[in-house]
Amino acid sequence: MPTDLTAIDLATLNAVQGVIVAALRNQCCQWEQQSSDAAADGRLSNALMLEHWAFAADLLAGVVSTEVSSLFGQALNARLTWSSTRSVGDQLLDSLTLEVAAAQSEPVEVLSA
């Protein structure tokens, strides 16, 4: 995890959370359906195994969501704390520097004052 939480892009972090949680929930639904199909076919041990996998995927989706939300909160808090000790001009210059560096096709070394 980066030590400078102010450098984390909150929009990207939010998008990552959505993608990961959606993928886990989708997998959960697939396993639930496969479990139901296996039970209907009389493959009860397979049905039980798939049901357990679905439960684990659902549980993991909740854990991931909670942990990413916590990181989001920490990053937001770090930004608020960091910004209160710096001038608006310095904050604006840092923000513009990071935006320009992110728009470059090759990595640009950002020098800090």
What is the tens place of the pLDDT at every residue in 58-81? 999 999 999 998 888 888 887 777
Structure confidence by residue, pLDDT tens digits, 9-52:
888 888 899 999 999 999 999 999 999 999 999 999 999 999 99
What is the per-residue pLDDT across 7-20, written as a single tens digit (0 to 9) for each? Answer: 778 888 888 999 99
pLDDT score at 108: 47
- Residues 18, 69 contacting (CB under 8 angstroms): no
Instruction: Tell me the pTM.
Output: 0.64
